[in-house]
Amino acid sequence: MAVTLETPLARVLGPKTATSMAEQLNLHTVRDLLRHYPRRYASRGEMARLDDLQKGDRVTILAQVRSVSTRRMRQRSGTITEVTVGDGAGSMTLVFFNHKHAALRQGAWGLFAGSVGSYQGKLQFTHPDCHMLDNDTGDDDWARALVPIYPASKDVSSWVIQKSLKLLLGPEGNLGGLVEDPLPEDMRTRHGILPLAAALLDIHRPTTMEDVEHAAHRLKWDEALILQLTLAARRRAAALEPGTARPRRAGGLLDAVDAALPFALTDGQRAVGEELAVELDRDQPMHRLLQGEVGSGKTVVALRAMAQVVDAGGQAALLAPTEVLAAQHVRGIRALLGPLGRAGELDGDPTGTRVTLLTGSLKAAARREARAEVAEGRAGIVVGTHALLQEGVEFADLGLVVVDEQHRFGVEQRDALRAKGNRPPHVLVMTATPIPRTVAMTVYGDLEISTLRQLPSGRGGVSSSVVPVTEKRAWLDRAWERLREEVAAGRQAYVVCPRIGDSPEDAAGAEDEPEDVDGAPEDGPQGDRRPPLAVLDVAELLRSGPLAGLRLDVLHGRLTPEEKDARMRAFAEREIDVLVATTVVEVGVDVPNATVMVVMDADRFGVSQLHQLRGRVARGKHPGLCLLVTEAPSSSPTGQRLAAVAATSDGFELARLDLETRREGDILGAAQSGKRSGVRMLSLLEDEELIAAARAEATALLETERGLADHPGLAAEVARLATDERADYLEKA
């Protein structure tokens, strides 16, 4: 029987090994095993001597087994196996729980890799990677300079994987007949890419680190190209969908909006506006991502696009992540449109349209009425939260979907709303979280991208500082003084806390506080940390202490939508000086008179969340102040992360910092172990150039007349990505 990439491992390996590999490492076929790459390589040069190990070192040692003893544990059930090894210079103990390593026999030599711990003053390895050197069977691995260390599992050690691969690769490592190279040769030549067989061989059995680098480059290309082909195919498919052109019409809502705007558009807003106007006028649906700094004025760009669509007889839906934001949008749009937004009402202009709010908290009668307005087409502009996505919400003629603050919505939601059009509507996705180029090319790779780089002129800018309370107690007092000064000058302030308060499980609020998508990085174990500061407690302390006498109120997810709306409104109308809130104010909230943002327990927030929060101030002509209050020492990683946020307001730089502090898998979604994700080697941080080159190649390939027809290998890989669960890492992001 000829072995192919699809051959089940059970046919080439022992049944026990194959089962364990399948169950514990999700490796099923020869292909899976070949694509199970070493995590790192142990080299002889890095081999540590037992007499100069230190606790915490991550090392590989070469040592001989002196003794092995297994006993039952006293406190817990199960066994503990202690193996003493020595290298002539010193000795140490290897500890295994409920695991007997058959190959660890007295006298055997092996490589042991792990991080050095200690127990009762003696250095030890707990469950190290073991690689026994088997001299009897002519094991030549020791002769090699580099020993691959694989991601392993309970019953499948790194060296079992290595042995299994050796079986597959054969003594000469002849993979030629087994793997066909899907990459066209001319592409390989252009980018200096190794043939696949050579790369696989070198990644598993390198002689030098240079081999590893070349091999990794090639394997990254596979991943990047397949991903980009998938995305390019999506873009092309989208471009072929039949849409409806929504041409600009003079004398309608758009002109009214332009006339009513209290400011001149920035050059960027104008340019992006033109781009959108042209694309809306095409009969292919637009798929565009608008990214722009917090405060760059995306809303008005979206509103102008919506107005154009309404002028052309269609409806536009604006999907907002929170009720607070949805209500704010409706208020702003209605104010701008005046009578033109109240068609059908006594004082409305019959040539205008209606602006309808549709959220989950509407009472039954109001919801019925809102849905009817939408279904009958009386509502030209529909603003809502997730409630818009529900069944039963029907549009008369949905022409444009705008998704605000995309990082709070998945692709599924975008698609659910799109599906409500008779024909695929145009789609505009907006985000204030600047997207590093690599992420833009991968996660958002099926969208065209517009960027607003410029803030409207006349903005005062925000100065930010970290207030490390454990080191500089007085700074916090000074912070409250500054806040009072601003209020005395007629300005307003936010104080943000991570938690609501009054109940233990209140960190997550209602709809307005979805899961923490930013995933605030933490520095260590959580067990001993005090609970995060709470809005209700902090408000009480401020009211009776440093901020006594100011008009102070709270805002959080446990309030009813009416209460929230009323308080936001009161704040916008300057009836409240200080709003103590959760991250319910994080996205989009727009009160230009607010100039101070104090973030309590700032270390509990992620980088882009802090940037978002800071974006709530200095939205008008007054300069802003953002204070990040933390107990984290300024020299700790957390302290430094906060200092970095304070040091720059460049969203792109912060997005990069955010990318560094989050794991890649979080961004690409299900790329974590256990899932067969297409991305293993590719790094969003380091491989920008490669991803860009792959994107260009993918686009060019699909633009040729025959597409992938001459590249069955590539077509098969693309199909595999689509059918595998892999595809969902594109969705989840």
Contacting positions for ligand ADP (CB under 6 A): 263, 265-266, 269, 292, 294-300, 432, 456, 588, 590, 592, 619
Which stretch of DSSP H or E encloses residue 149?
A: strand 146-149
By a kind-dependent CB cut-off of 5 to 8 A, residue 294 interacts, out of ligand ADP, Mg ion, none, with: ligand ADP
> Residues 131, 147: contact at Cβ < 8 Å?
yes
Q: Does 292 bind Mg ion (CB under 5 A)?
A: no
Give, for 219, the enclosing helix (H) or strand (E): helix 209-240
Q: Where do we find the tokens 């209606």?
A: 354
Task: Please report how close the Cβ of residue 553 comes to Mg ion at its closest, in angstroms.
Answer: 23
Q: How far is the CB of 405 from ligand ADP (least distance, A)?
A: 8
297 binds Mg ion (CB under 5 A): no
The nearer residue to ligand ADP, 468 or 588, going by C-beta atoms, is 588
Least Cβ distance, residue 336 to ligand ADP (angstroms)? 9
| Binder of residue 38, out of ligand ADP, Mg ion, none (CB less than 5 to 8 A by kind) | none
| Nearer of residues 272 and 393 to ligand ADP, judged by Cβ | 272
Residue 402, contacted partner among Mg ion, ligand ADP, none, CB below 5-8 A by kind: none
Closer of 290 and 627 to ligand ADP (Cβ): 290
Task: Give me the least distance between CB of 433 and ligand ADP, in Å please.
Answer: 11
Q: How far is the CB of 557 from ligand ADP (least distance, A)?
A: 21
Distances (CA, A) of 176 to 169, 180, 198, 223: 10, 7, 8, 20
Three-state SS for 293? coil
Nearer to ligand ADP, 44 or 453 (CB): 453
CB of 435 to Mg ion, least distance (A): 15
Binding-residue pattern over the window 577 to 596 for Mg ion, x denoting contact by CB under 5 A: -----------x--------
Residue 64, φ and ψ in degrees, nearest 5? -110, 140
CB of 59 or CB of 318, closer to Mg ion: 318
CB of 17 or CB of 322, closer to Mg ion: 322
Q: Do 142 and 110 contact (CB within 8 A), yes or no?
A: no
With the C-alpha atoms ordered 647, 652, 658, 663, is the resulting torsion angle positive or negative?
negative
Q: How far apart are CA 102 and CA 106, in angstroms?
A: 11
Closer to Mg ion by CB, 216 or 401: give it. Answer: 401
Q: CB of residue 508 vs Mg ion: minimum separation in angstroms?
A: 23
Min dist. Cβ of residue 584 to Mg ion (A): 15
Say which entry of Mg ion, ligand ADP, none residue 296 contacts (CB below 5 to 8 A, set by partner kind). Answer: ligand ADP
CB atoms within 10 A of CB 675: 16
Choose between 35 and 619: whose C-beta lies nearer to Mg ion.
619
Name the residue nearer to ligand ADP (CB basis): 405 or 697: 405
Write the burial class of residue 361 (CB in 10 Å: 0-12 exposed, 13-18 middle, 19+ buried): middle
Residue 295's binding partner out of Mg ion, ligand ADP, none, with CB under 5 to 8 Å set by partner kind: ligand ADP
238 CB contacts (<8 Å, ≥6 apart)? 284, 285, 287, 424, 446
Measured from the CB atom, is 65 or 383 closer to Mg ion? 383
Residue 292 binds which entry of Mg ion, ligand ADP, none, with Cβ cut-offs from 5 to 8 Å by kind? ligand ADP
Q: Shortest distance, CB of residue 629 to ligand ADP, whole angstroms?
A: 24
> How many Å apart are CA 322 and CA 557, to the nearest integer?
10
By a kind-dependent CB cut-off of 5 to 8 A, residue 678 interacts, out of Mg ion, ligand ADP, none, with none
- The owner of tokens 């699909």 is 702
For residue 298, count other CB atoms closer than 10 A to its CB.
Answer: 25
Q: Which residues pair with 85 in a beta bridge?
A: 65, 92
Task: Tokens 């000064």: give the residue.
Answer: 485
Residue 300 binds: one of ligand ADP, Mg ion, none (C-beta under 5 to 8 A by kind): ligand ADP
In 3D space, the residue among 611, 609, 603 whose CA is nearest the CA of residue 639 turns out to be: 603
Nearer to ligand ADP, 199 or 324 (CB): 324
Question: Cβ 263 to ligand ADP, closest distance in Å?
Answer: 4
**Which of ligand ADP, Mg ion, none does residue 238 bind (CB under 5 to 8 Å by kind)?**
none
Closest chain position to ligand ADP (CB): 297
Strand order in the sheet with 492-496: 462-468, 624-630, 594-599, 492-496, 578-581, 552-555
CA 183 – CA 415 distance, rounded (Å): 32
Nearest to 552 by CA among 583, 584, 585, 577: 577
Bridge partners, residue 122, by sequence: 119
Interacting partner of 269 out of ligand ADP, Mg ion, none (Cβ under 5 to 8 A depending on kind)? ligand ADP
Which of ligand ADP, Mg ion, none does 456 bind, CB closer than 5 to 8 A by kind? ligand ADP
**Total residues contacting Mg ion (rule CB under 5 A)?**
1
H or E element at residue 440: helix 437-442
Give the nearest distance from C-beta 731 to ligand ADP in angstroms: 25
Question: Residue 460 or residue 592: which is nearer to ligand ADP going by CB?
Answer: 592
Q: What is the largest CA-CA distance in the chain?
A: 97
> Contact 552/543 with Cβ under 8 angstroms?
yes
Per DSSP (E only), the strands in 18-78 are 40-43, 58-72
Burial class (CB in 10 A: 0-12, 13-18, 19+), 174: exposed
Q: How far apart are CA 346 and CA 1, in angstroms?
A: 83
Q: Least Å distance between CB 361 and ligand ADP?
A: 23
Residue 659 binding target from ligand ADP, Mg ion, none, CB below 5 to 8 Å by type: none
List of residues contacting Mg ion (CB under 5 A):
588
